[in-house]
């Protein structure tokens, strides 16, 4: 396993630290797995993937997509799930010169921002929709993550959206 590198670290810049996690999403009949790569400082969802199986491949695909779109973080923080410490996953992370940080066993607070994202995704989208198909879930989540990144202000970001903070866009002044 890898040590938890974030304790006491001031995380203030985009791409300084990314978090990655996997959760299950209930559907009307069955469930899917959702993998997300999240920028820690800005809460921006950088990449996400759906799968009907919990394999390393979906994690690799999400991480590669985030790297292609955003470059590399200094640190990638994950939990200790079985997909992450795989040889293929660790190799990909190290190939890009990224430091790998892992949460303590059972320490959900170590990846708090992803846990908060899971609550938002499930209560604001998934539980309300009860998807009937994978394509319906794909479409609904694509819309939700667009809204989450560009339209949903966060109190922790001084009322700005993750996109505004990630791309350093200042909010417009309100007319008096």
Find the CATH number of the domain harbouring 101: 3.30.420.10
Label residue 49 by pLDDT band (50, 70, 90): very high
Nearest residue to 25 (alpha-carbon basis) of 148, 142, 134? 134
What pLDDT, on a 0 to 100 scale, did the predictor assign at position 93? 95
How many folded domains does the chain comprise? 1
Question: Span 157-173, mean pLDDT?
Answer: 85
Which range of residues forms the domain containing residue 102?
17-112+124-166
Distance CA 121, CA 100 (A): 25
**Which residue carries 């009937």 as its tokens?**
132
Main-chain dihedrals φ then ψ at residue 24, nearest 5 degrees: -100, 150
- Confirm whether 105 is domain-assigned: yes
Give a yes or no: residue 11 inside a domain. Answer: no
For 31, other C-beta atoms within 10 Å of its C-beta total 13
Neighbour-count burial of 44, counting CB atoms closer than 10 A to its CB (0-12 exposed, 13-18 middle, 19+ buried): buried
Residue 107 has pLDDT above 70, yes or no: no
Average pLDDT of 11-30? 94
Q: What is the pLDDT of residue 86?
A: 83
Mean pLDDT, the chain, rounded, equals 90
pTM, two decimals, is: 0.90
Query: Could you tell me which residue, 174 or 85, shows the higher pLDDT?
Result: 85
Average pLDDT on 70-76 reads 97
Q: What pLDDT does residue 27 have? A: 93
Is residue 9, in this structure, part of any structural domain at all? no
* Whole-angstrom distance, CA of residue 50 vs CA of residue 36: 9
Does residue 8 belong to any structural domain of this protein? Answer: no
In a domain, 10, yes or no: no
- Contact, 4 vs 31, CB < 8 A? no
Residue 3, domain member (yes or no): no
Element (H, E) at 57: helix 56-70
User: Is the torsion defined by CA of 154, 71, 54, 2 positive or negative?
Assistant: negative
Query: Three-state SS for 109?
Result: helix
For residue 117, being part of any structural domain is answered with no
Q: What percent of the chain has pLDDT over 70?
A: 89
pLDDT average, residue stretch 139-166: 96
Any domain includes 172 = no
């Amino acid at each position: 396993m890898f040590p938890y590198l974030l304790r006491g670290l001031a995380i203030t810049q985009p791409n300084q630290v990314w978090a990655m996690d996997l959760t299950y999403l209930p559907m009307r009949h069955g469930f899917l797995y959702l993998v997300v790569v999240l920028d820690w400082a800005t809460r921006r969802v950088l990449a996400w993937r759906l799968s009907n199986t919990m394999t390393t491949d979906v994690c690799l695909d999400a991480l590669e997509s985030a790297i292609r779109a955003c470059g590399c973080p200094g640190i990638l923080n994950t939990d200790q799930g079985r997909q992450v410490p795989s040889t293929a996953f660790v190799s990909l992370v190290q190939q890009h010169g990224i430091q790998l940080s892992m949460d303590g066993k059972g320490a959900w607070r170590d990846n708090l921002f992803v846990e908060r994202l899971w609550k938002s995704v499930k209560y604001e989208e998934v539980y309300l929709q009860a998807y009937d198909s994978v394509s319906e879930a794909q479409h609904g989540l694509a819309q939700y993550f667009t809204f989450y990144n560009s339209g949903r202000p966060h109190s922790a970001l001084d009322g700005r959206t993750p996109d505004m903070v990630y791309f350093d866009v200042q909010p417009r002044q309100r007319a008096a």
